[in-house]
Each structure stands twice: as C-alpha cells, then as structure tokens.
Structure 1
Amino acid sequence: MVGCDVALLDQRFLGGGQYSGRDSDYVVFSFPGYSPHWALTRPWLTEEWYASTIRDLAAQISQTQRIVFVEFDQVIGRVSDSDYWAGLPCTLARPATIEDAAALFRNASHVYAGRLHAAILGSVLGVPTLAFAYHHKFEVVSELGIPTVGLTGPCATLPKPERPDMTILESVRQRGLDVLSSVRTDG
C-alpha cells in the first residue's frame, strides 16, 4: 500500500520542482519518539541505541549544518516527537501544508527520516535520504535505493544518505496507481 503513498505524493508534485538543496546550509530531521513495541519484532532496536544514534548524528551534523526538525502532527495526551527530541540542536518546523513541507525538504541538503512519509517525501523529491526503520513498512524505502537502517539488524556505522533510483521509484509509483485504479473500479 505504500506504493499508493508514493503515487499520491508524486502526482501532487509533478512539475513542482525537484531537489535543489545541494548547497543548502540545513538538513531535515523527522523522527518519532521511541516506542517499546518496536523491539518486539526488532530486538536490536532499543531506546538506548535509537536515541544515542540520533543524538550522535545530530551532534555531528550540527557542527557544519543547521538541522530543521520537521514535525508533521501535534499530539494531545502523549509526548510529541518534538518533546521527545527536545535536546537536539535543531530548529523546529511544523509545516501547515504538504506544499510547505515539500519546500523544506526540496531545499535541504539531506533528509534523515524515522517517519515513513518523511522518507517517501525526500525520495519523491530526489533528496539524498537516510531512513531509520522501526517497522517492515520501510522496506519500500529501501527498495527505492535509499539506505535504510534497522530493517535487518543493528548498524554500527551509518551509511550516507542517497538519492533514490528514480526508475524504481517510477515502478513503485505505478504499482500504487494500479492499486488505486483497481480500488476505484472494484468499488
């Protein structure tokens, strides 16, 4: 079903411009707060590993670039992503629209995403992206050629963010469009 996400995002930005952040002075971070249930299917994904990996990455990046932490939704009754990551050296952005989010992503030099839709958005826009998987749904991001940490085991050294393989992205997008088409004709 994630192919539908790619299809919808890609349709929305078709002709809207691609990655322009090669010389940008900032990167995008978008990470959820840790949830203990992640370790049920991925025992290596402990809160200690997750939090220290993201904090160490932020400390390293903040020496040369600004970090914009993009939070897509505000929550009531639980800790928000920005509350969980309050100690990171970053500026918080809460885009009001998908277009605002796309502008932030498109102009960033890299995207570091623990949120699936952030990884998809970075990929669709052609921005070098590194994904942090807490769930098998991130397999589609990996399929696009985006380095994805956490799918199969712990990672001692983080890979560099990569741009997606646009040929594969188009194939995944077409699968999503095919699913949407069959839902419309079946309904």
Structure 2
Amino acid sequence: MRAELSVRRSEPRQRTGILWWSGQILSWLVLFVVLALIAVMIVVPKLGGATAYTVLTGSMRPQFPPGTLVVVKPTDPGQLRIGDVATYQLVSGEPEVITHRVAGIGSSLAGDQQFIFRGDANNVEDKPVQPEQIRGRLWYSVPLLGFVNNALTGQQRTWLTWIVAGGLIAYSLVMFAGAWRERQEQ
C-alpha cells in the first residue's frame, strides 16, 4: 500500500464576524476623529492665516461657554459691524486677548475710530478699543475643543501632528502588508 500525501491549502480566514466589523468601525472612527481634530485645530487655521484661541470665562455664554475653541481670522477693523464677534488685545502689543461682540462703533473726541465690545453675558460694555488692538473676526468655533487647545503648547501640537502622521503611515503599511500576505496565501 502506498501512502498518499496531499497538500492541502488552508482556507483563507473569513473576516465578517461582529468583532471584526466592530474593530474596523472603531479604527476608522478613531482615525476620522483624530484627523478632524488636527484639521480643525491646526491645519485649517494655518492655511487660513487665522489664530485659535480658547474661551476662558463665561462672558460669552450661552453661545461660547468656557472651553470653546474660537478661530479668529485677521480682518480690517473697518469691516467690523455691530453684532460681529471679534478678538482684541486688552493692551495694544500685549498677548492677552478678549473675544466679545461688537456693541458699538464710534469716534473719540480726537476723531479716532473706536470700537465698543461687550460679552453676551455681561451687563457692562468694555473699555473703548482702538483699531490696532483688534486681532480679527470670529471665523468658526468648536465647543469643548478649547480645553485640548489649552493643554497643548505650540511645540506639542507640532509633535502631535508628526506622531499622528507617522501613526497613519505605519497603519497604512500594516494594512498593505496584510493585504499582500492574504494575496500570497490565495
């Protein structure tokens, strides 16, 4: 009697179970959220020449509660209108800023243009603001994202961007390697 050996190829694994689908959905969801956060916080403001700030107080409640990320795009102060939300320097040339709504536009006794701002939740108007103090008009805002913005310094944002980019590249290489391996097994 002769013993016959047959070479049997293993069947490719079917990837259709609930755990596999859950893992796929979760990984794509995490990827989408991370990319969206980077786009909203870093990429879009940089491309638009804008600056991201965090609302720290309740002066702009209910529309902009503390922790809201506000992205401000530079604008000519002459284009500001009553009702616009804008960011201005508390003291000209200093980094501290306030984001409030334009409540009035007028002139000083010397004839210089002035802007009057007031927080939506405030009963009192801010001190008059000179055009050179204005950093820009509100472009867009994202609730709660300001907390993340405050937690990261500029250098940390740069590193985070590089880490996420590297992670995405590594993830794509793993996916390509897995697909290549599956094709070789067929």
TM normalised by structure 2 equals: 0.27
Larger-gyration structure (1/2): 2
Higher strand share: 2
TM normalised by structure 1 equals: 0.27
